[in-house]
Homo-oligomer: A and B are copies of this chain.
């Protein structure tokens, strides 16, 4: 037997294996290592992640309960294929949640916070220039996650983060289609509004960002029919 996920010196001081597996699997969902509709097997993941069966089972179960994976009736698990109706629901939810969390974040925003967001956005620009799709997805996600964190609203942030898990795989497909050169970046308006201390403008900018991205997603879904 392999020496499992044994802490390779510095990697994981005290993080249980199921948590590590969860994080890795979640990232696979978020950043497109799994395509919509793809089957997810326990044994496949035990090999791919060289982890035991129990941690993988728990991670999968956790992601199912978050909507990142779906359990087809007969003990088979797969990455959900979003319908247009699903996307519409996610749009409704995000168009409400994201501006709300942005306003919350604005109530206690420091210059350092804006700096951190600006750095993230600059890194995002770099990823776009280099056509690094995975970095783009990651940094875009980080940008919004950072706002959620600043809002200091753990429950609402949980809801918002959960939505990302649902559209992650489809977003990857969309961006893959658009080509790596003309990926959108609508964060500039948000940063300007934040620097001006204008909560209304910041919320509106975030809402526009969300709507733009999600609308593209829905359009891509309906025109591309099913991707496989």
Residue ranges of A at the interface with B (Cβ–Cβ < 8 Å):
16, 18, 54, 57-58, 61-62, 64-67, 75, 86, 89-90, 92-93, 96, 100, 153-156, 158-159, 162-163, 166
From B64, B66, B92, A100 is in contact (CB under 8 Å) with B92
Contact present for B61 and A159 (CB under 8 Å):
no
Given A16-B75, A92-B100, A96-B96, A155–B58 Cβ distance below 8 Å? no
Contact present for A156 and B89 (CB under 8 Å):
yes
What residue in chain B is nearest A96 (Cβ atoms)? B96
Contact present for A66 and B67 (CB under 8 Å):
no
In angstroms, Cα B216 to Cα A53, docked, is: 45
Contact present for B54 and A86 (CB under 8 Å):
no
From B16, B65, B93, B162, A62 is in contact (CB under 8 Å) with B65
From B57, B86, B153, A155 is in contact (CB under 8 Å) with B86
Contact present for A156 and B58 (CB under 8 Å):
no
Given A16-B75, A155-B86, A156-B92, A65–B66 Cβ distance below 8 Å? yes
* Most central of A65, A156, A159 by chain B CB within 10 Å: A65
From B61, B66, B93, B166, A58 is in contact (CB under 8 Å) with B61
Contact present for A93 and B156 (CB under 8 Å):
yes
Which 8 residue pairs are nearest across A and B when measured between Cβ atoms? A89-B155, A62-B65, A58-B61, A65-B65, A89-B153, A89-B156, A61-B62, A159-B159
Contact present for B18 and A61 (CB under 8 Å):
yes
